[in-house]
Structure 1
Amino acid sequence: MLDNHSYDRRRFLRDAAIGAAAVSAGGLAAGAPAQAAPATAAPVAAAPVAAATGRRSGAVSFRWWGTSGWRIDIGDRTVLVDPYLSRYDTGLFKGAFREDTPLEVATDVIDPLVDRAENILVTHTHWDHFNDVPYLAGRTGARVFGTLTAHHLGLAYGLPAGQLVPVKGGEVLDFGTYTVEVVSSLHSRNKSWSVAFPGVRHSQPPKPVTIADLPEGDTLAYQIRVAGGPAVFFMGASDLNERNLAGLAPDVAMVASAATTSTADYVPRLMAALDYPKVVVPVHWDNFETPLTNPPVVEKTDRERLEDLITAVQRVSPRSRVLVPEYHTAYHF
């Protein structure tokens, strides 16, 4: 069980030690929303971030959009990671998964939330990570960074080649007030030690129609380092090649909750490879086929996996603080 007294939802501000901040998941229940934050636990005001050039880049905030999706605002610049907002029903959480579920984009949900974006970082191309990316790129003009599969799928949706940036891992990309380091990673394994919708796209396919038309397409992770601010690591799936993480040493790690136990020593290996981050934020534990409203809905098995992740982090990296996020809430590291 989680100790409610060890967590304080939302009180979270980066200082020299990245102060103690974490959140109770003790109220999570099978098929029920996560426990809402106390009314008095308001977010701490953002601190300005100084750019390496001496210019102030403005407030930096991180907003969770469910699954492994994030909106990062660095002053007046916006980066999206795996933005999946449509969240439609495939039967996945009802035990009746339909691989032929038609792809759809909930523009009425997306448009009020996304007014701008300059870069979109895609960890892999399953529907719960890539579904909304072509629409968002078309609406905002954002560059899309991802695997060669993401590049070819973007072409299939009609995005111009100049807006699609294929990466493999190892790239360190400079955007002035922040950099993005690309990391070659691995997708989670299911109970059969396999991967859902495996495969890559070596050339432009027909425009995807169903969720099965969006394969995994290899998996990446990303680290954003803000000038004068934090280094934040983003995962989209719960497996890793720890050799590819050497030297990253992020201040904050957005860590995917393990889908199964097929990957050996997942949390100990991950924490050691990341040099025991000061802050760990679990992601990909919510029911992403429910509306993006607080409190997040979490199913029984996912609640247990979330608790297991928190317990494992506390055991192997006791100096790390754990923050279980809520949707849309601005976190300032």
Structure 2
Amino acid sequence: MTDPRLGRRRFLATAAGAAAGIPVAAASAIPPTAQAAPRRRGRGGSTATFRWLGTAGWRVDIGAKTVLVDPYLSRFDTGLFKPPFNPATGLTVDAERIAEHAGTPETILVTHTHWDHYNDVPHIARRSGARVFGTLTAYHLGLAHGLPTGQLSPVKGGEVLDFGEYTVEVVASLHSRNPSYSMAFPGVRTEVPAPPATIADLPEGDTLAFQITPRGGPSVFFMGASDFVERNLAGLAPDVAMVAVPSTDVTHEYAPRLLEALGRPAIVVPVHWDDFETPLTNPPPVTPEDRRRLDGFLAAVRRVAPRTEVLLPRYLTPYTFG
């Protein structure tokens, strides 16, 4: 895990390239109000607004209700983008930034429990009273953080949950792999651990994906890591897919297989390509290596699904689809 030859980004490797802030130009971008024809519309319901929180995080406002997916706003320095990477980095929370941007959610969806997806979740849940949905590891970590069982809902994949104004379908998924076909901080928590203190105390903990469908549509698929089980995506056919950009080439035909399994969504929104150890300011910064990966992913989408539109999101910008 600490081999510097692994290079690349995030928790998949411990030695990322220098984090040069390079503005991302929106290739084939669409405006905040997207007009690509979704496959579910016209049944009435509340308008949904989507805001990218950086990394794989989203705030979804559906009428008066707020849903968060992998909210990570604290964005503290671990050395991942400016080596050396330090697995013993202490967990900290930027309460002011969270208060400014997280809203008051009723639901928090956690794809997996690495720090850049889970770190802020206990604080937000404690402040808002939101219910947290995640793996059994997320459940046990929530208890370790002092959250009551009444706010924690373990899920496995296959559940279709009705919240009135929207539904959430849970999908069993996979975490991405580093160049050594492994990942940082693997493992699960099968019982309540000591309260986590460092980023190494937050393992991957199994991985999920989620599909949120507001009443009346559109359906929106969320990934937190760049791998998947094709068979588990059968029949989802989302209108919009928030897709994690692959960090390596070890997953075979990532974009073609994913887009085919999802039925070539009308809109694809790449996520998890930004330098998430910088302030939350636009344009989102991206390292040279991640820029190359992002460009390769965009080219693959255009090649495999030429009718699919691509939206390169900006931080905290409201988007609607439909």
Instruction: Assess same fold via TM > 0.5.
Output: yes
Matched, 1:109 2:97: yes
Amino acid at match of 1:148: L
SS where residue 301 of structure 2 aligns?
Answer: helix
Q: 1:213 to 1:303 in 2, by over 3 A?
A: same
SS where residue 94 of structure 1 aligns?
Answer: coil
Match of 1:157 in 2: 145
SS where residue 49 of structure 2 aligns?
Answer: strand
Shift of residue 31, structure 1, vs aligned partner = 1.2
Find 2:278's aligned residue among 281, 290, 295.
290
User: C-alpha distance in 2, partners of 1:169/1:161?
Assistant: 20
Runs of 5+ unmatched residues, structure 2: 1-17
Shift of residue 144, structure 1, vs aligned partner = 0.2
Q: 1:89 to 1:77 in 2, by over 3 A?
A: same
User: C-alpha distance in 1, partners of 2:59/2:42?
Assistant: 20
Taking only aligned residues, the RMSD between alpha carbons, in angstroms, comes to 1.9
Find 1:199's aligned residue among 178, 187, 190.
187
Say if 1:30 and 1:303, in contact at 8 Å, map to a contact too.
no
Q: How many correspondences in the alignment?
A: 297
Match of 1:319 in 2: 307
Shift of residue 251, structure 1, vs aligned partner = 0.3
Amino acid at match of 1:283: V
Give 1:195-234 correspondences, 5 Å limit: 195-234=183-222
Say if 1:121 and 1:145, in contact at 8 Å, map to a contact too.
yes
SS where residue 71 of structure 1 aligns?
Answer: strand
User: C-alpha distance in 2, partners of 1:295/1:170?
Assistant: 37
Shift of residue 115, structure 1, vs aligned partner = 2.9
Shift of residue 180, structure 1, vs aligned partner = 0.1
Match of 1:140 in 2: 128
Match of 2:23 in 1: 34
User: C-alpha distance in 1, partners of 2:288/2:250?
Assistant: 19
User: C-alpha distance in 2, partners of 1:135/1:330?
Assistant: 24
Shift of residue 30, structure 1, vs aligned partner = 7.0
Shift of residue 281, structure 1, vs aligned partner = 0.3
Give 1:167-206 correspondences, 5 Å limit: 167-206=155-194
SS where residue 304 of structure 1 aligns?
Answer: helix
User: C-alpha distance in 2, partners of 1:35/1:313?
Assistant: 17
Give 1:3-42 correspondences, 5 Å limit: 31-35=20-24
Amino acid at match of 1:215: P
SS where residue 81 of structure 2 aligns?
Answer: helix
Identity of aligned residues (%): 65
Say if 1:51 and 1:177, in contact at 8 Å, map to a contact too.
no
Find 1:71's aligned residue among 42, 51, 59.
59
User: C-alpha distance in 2, partners of 1:300/1:262?
Assistant: 19
Say if 2:34 and 2:319, in contact at 8 Å, map to a contact too.
no
Match of 1:277 in 2: 265
User: C-alpha distance in 2, partners of 1:115/1:328?
Assistant: 12
Say if 1:31 and 1:299, in contact at 8 Å, map to a contact too.
yes
Shift of residue 42, structure 1, vs aligned partner = 7.1
Find 2:68's aligned residue among 69, 77, 80.
80
User: C-alpha distance in 1, partners of 2:257/2:143?
Assistant: 37
SS where residue 143 of structure 2 aligns?
Answer: helix
Deviations 1:160-209 (A, max 9, x none): 00100000000000011110000000000001000110000000000000
Say if 2:237 and 2:262, in contact at 8 Å, map to a contact too.
yes
The answer to which structure, 1 or 2, has the higher relative contact order (CA under 8 A, 6+ apart) is 2
Say if 1:190 and 1:259, in contact at 8 Å, map to a contact too.
yes
Say if 2:219 and 2:238, in contact at 8 Å, map to a contact too.
yes
Say if 2:270 and 2:313, in contact at 8 Å, map to a contact too.
yes
Q: 1:205 to 1:34 in 2, by over 3 A?
A: same
Amino acid at match of 2:253: D
Q: TM-score, normalised by structure 2?
A: 0.89
User: C-alpha distance in 1, partners of 2:264/2:24?
Assistant: 27
Amino acid at match of 2:134: G
Amino acid at match of 2:197: V
User: C-alpha distance in 2, partners of 1:202/1:319?
Assistant: 44
Shift of residue 114, structure 1, vs aligned partner = 2.4
Amino acid at match of 1:63: R
User: C-alpha distance in 2, partners of 1:45/1:318?
Assistant: 17
